[in-house]
Amino acid sequence: MPIPSRAALVDHLARTRIAGDVATPRDNNLSHYRKLANGDRHYWLGLELGDRWTDEQDVLAVMAERCGVSDDPGHRMGQDTIDPELTVDALERMAARLRKAAAGKERVLFATGHPGGLLDVHRQTADALRRAGCEIVRIPGGLMADEGMVFQFADVAMLERGATLWHTHSPEPMTAILDGMEREGRPLPDLVVADHGWAGCAGQRGLDSIGYADCNDPALFIGEAEGTLQVTVPLDDHVTDPRYYDPMTAYLLDAAGLAEGA
């Protein structure tokens, strides 16, 4: 995969609708912001937000700043956006944290609640960190959460139910992993690279956590704003072809000094 320039990546993100005019409609975004503000813990993604985000407009302001959705509270229906420039800015912040992990030969755990979209992004990143000398954390065996099995495939932890990789926002699978590691007396990861409740739970447990989030998942952006997460990259986390993420991953690994042959 050739390494795109920043301008080429911005164009690619918009053309593939990873960013730009994304598929997630405005009314869905606002509904999720409202539910987070109303205290629905499903939308907290493993974070403990207390009573700090009870105003839907405060949530919208964070999402406009960090994700690039429209900041107009009167815009209730139709198209919403992710600013591809903000996506690349966040990728560069993520790259800096990955570079630190490589330099320190850190223990890194990968997990995804979006295996249909982001599995290979995480797998390629894990491969690159292993080449750099990092330990890619192997999770304990026999873990259960949310009526499914928590297991690892291609170095990435996921939830499996009925022989199907499961799309989940829940923090419970990450809780099972971290609790399992503690029971075995194993050191917890130095870094977690994830999304959804997997990333939120890790950050809430005090681990360095970086990851990806869609414009209808405001909790991780709030987590970054509050310092609970180190980086949240805004993107559509399930576009029509997972290969569309390849140029983004190539840019990320190159910026981190982790591209093959670097």
Residue pLDDT, tens place only, 109-134:
999 999 999 999 999 999 999 999 99
Altogether, the residues listed in the chain come to a count of 262
The pLDDT score that the predictor gives to residue 262 is 63
Amino acid at 54: T
Asked whether 237 and 243 are in contact (CB, 8 A), the reply is: no
Question: Domains in the chain: how many in total?
Answer: 1
Which regions of the chain are under pLDDT 50?
A: none
pTM exceeds 0.95, yes or no = yes
- Cβ atoms of residues 215 and 194 within 8 Å: no
Tell me the per-residue pLDDT of 40-62, one tens digit each, with 9 for 90 and over: 999 999 999 999 999 999 999 99
Structure confidence at residue 182 (pLDDT): 98
Are residues 197 and 171 in contact, defined by beta-carbon separation less than 8 angstroms?
yes
pLDDT value at residue 260? 85
Which structural domain, as residue segments, surrounds residue 169? 1-261
What is the spatial distance between Cα 240 and Cα 10, in angstroms, rounded to a whole number? 18
pLDDT reported for residue 21: 97
Question: Would strands 208-213 and 191-195 be described as parallel, antiparallel, or unpaired?
Answer: parallel
d(Cα 94, Cα 11) in Å, to the nearest integer?
20
**Could you report the per-residue pLDDT of 209-225, keeping only the tens digit for each?**
999 999 999 999 999 99
3-state secondary structure of 20: strand
The per-residue pLDDT for 102 is 98
